[in-house]
């Protein structure tokens, strides 16, 4: 598999970082450049959501309370919240838009609860040393959020097991990640037999990201053979297709690599 990924990198003039973690056995099944710092795109919203939920717990805030939505924070064309043009929204609804729809206007609004420094303190405190949060409200626009595949997969593993997460926060995040609209990323080419009596994959959770020349997806997959997390990050590629097309080269690479890694893991587990 490593040779295959190296060939893909050379063929597509890109960087690929991957990790597959068997959560059931607490072991790494496969890794390739898993600790390389890459552009996070919207995968950083996982860590932002974790930090926000920790603040909500510590301050004993209600998820039903509302925040004002500042029109200056709208991201037109890429935000359900911006399209709604609502003046306020509940915190739990904002978190749903953040995780299920990767809504950046929702992130901008939730930043009323927490500063960039506090998010990065949360990240560092939990040992995610290759990850850095940068606010979308940052006026310079010269620094972008970063991540490693290892950090992304480790976050998903801890989320699944409830480590460092309050029960309510864990349930909320998994519920929203199960509703991710980005089913054409890492989940696109996986077995889809969810309606079978004995499906290959019974539960799936995803947080994808796409920006500039970066596409990634980090998923949790529950099967009858165990639970695993797969993080696939494709960075620095040049898209020849419409960037927003589901046939974007980066998306296809993430989809194919995720499928191949899942197939290898599934065949290896007795």
Q: How far is CA 170 from CA 42, 194, 232, in A?
A: 19, 23, 23
The lowest-confidence range among 78-87, 100-109, 141-150, 237-246 is 237-246
pLDDT in tens, 9-35: 999 899 999 999 999 999 999 999 999
Higher pLDDT, 75 or 111: 111
Which residues are CB-contacts of 23 (< 8 A; sequence separation ≥ 6)? 157, 160, 161, 220, 226, 227, 228, 229
Q: CA distances (Å), 108 to each of 41, 50, 59, 134, 224, in order?
A: 15, 15, 20, 11, 39
The pLDDT confidence band at residue 75, using thresholds 50, 70 and 90, is confident
Residue 268's pLDDT is 94
- Go through the chain and tell me how many residues it has: 270
- What are the chain's domains? 2-38+148-268 (3.40.710.10)
Site of tokens 């197939």: 263
The pTM assigned to this predicted structure is: 0.93
pLDDT at 138: 66
pLDDT tens per residue, range 211-256: 878 999 999 999 999 999 999 999 987 766 565 554 578 888 999 9
pLDDT reported for residue 239:
65
Give the mean pLDDT of 53-64. Answer: 97
Q: What is the pLDDT of residue 248?
A: 77
pLDDT score of 254: 94
The 10s digit of each residue's pLDDT in 27-57 is 999 999 999 999 999 999 999 999 999 999 9
What DSSP string describes 37-103?
-EE-GGGHHHHHHHHHHHHHHHTT--TT-EEE--GGG--TTS-HHHHHT-SEEEHHHHHHHHHHS--
CB atoms within 10 A of CB 92: 14
Residue 59 has pLDDT above 90, yes or no: yes
- Give tens-digit pLDDT for 150-159: 999 999 999 9
Q: What is the pLDDT of residues 180-211, one digit of tens each?
A: 876 668 888 887 654 566 788 989 999 999 88
Name the one residue in this structure whose structure tokens are 């970066």. 214
Task: Report the mean per-residue pLDDT for the chain.
Answer: 90
pLDDT of residue 14: 93
Q: Is 221 in contact with 203 (CB distance < 8 Å)? A: yes
Angle, alpha carbons 224-264-174 (nearest 5°) = 50
- CA–CA distance, 213 with 253 (Å, rounded to integer): 13
pLDDT-derived band of residue 76, with 50, 70 and 90 as boundaries? confident
Other C-beta atoms within 10 Å of 170: how many?
19
Q: How confident is the model at residue 63 (pLDDT cuts 50, 70, 90)?
A: very high
Burial code (b: 16+ CB inside 10 Å, e: under 16) for 54-64 equals: bbbeeeeeeee
């Amino acid at each position: 598999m490593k040779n295959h990924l190296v060939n893909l990198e050379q063929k597509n003039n890109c960087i690929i970082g991957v990790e597959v973690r068997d959560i059931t056995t607490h072991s790494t099944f496969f890794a390739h450049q898993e600790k390389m710092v890459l552009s996070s795109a919207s995968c950083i919203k996982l860590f932002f959501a974790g930090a926000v939920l920790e603040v909500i717990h510590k301050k004993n805030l209600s998820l039903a309370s509302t925040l004002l939505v500042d029109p200056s924070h709208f991201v037109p064309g890429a935000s359900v919240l911006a399209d709604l043009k609502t003046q306020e929204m509940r915190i739990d609804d904002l978190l749903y838009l953040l995780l299920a729809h990767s809504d950046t206007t929702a992130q901008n609004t939730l930043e009323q609860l927490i500063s960039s420094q506090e998010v990065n303190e949360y990240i560092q405190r939990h040992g995610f040393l290759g990850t850095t949060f940068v606010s979308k409200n940052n006026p310079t626009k010269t620094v972008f959020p970063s991540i490693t595949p290892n950090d992304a997969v480790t976050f998903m593993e801890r989320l699944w097991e409830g480590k460092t997460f309050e029960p309510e926060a864990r349930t909320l995040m998994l519920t929203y990640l199960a509703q991710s609209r980005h089913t054409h990323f890492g989940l696109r080419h996986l077995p889809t037999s969810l309606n079978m009596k004995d499906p290959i994959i019974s539960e799936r959770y995803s947080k994808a990201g796409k920006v500039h020349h970066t596409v990634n997806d980090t998923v949790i997959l529950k099967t009858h053979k165990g639970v695993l997390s797969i993080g696939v990050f494709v960075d620095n590629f040049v898209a020849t297709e419409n960037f927003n097309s589901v046939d974007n080269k980066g998306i296809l690479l993430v989809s194919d690599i995720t499928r191949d890694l899942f197939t290898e893991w599934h065949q290896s587990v007795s």
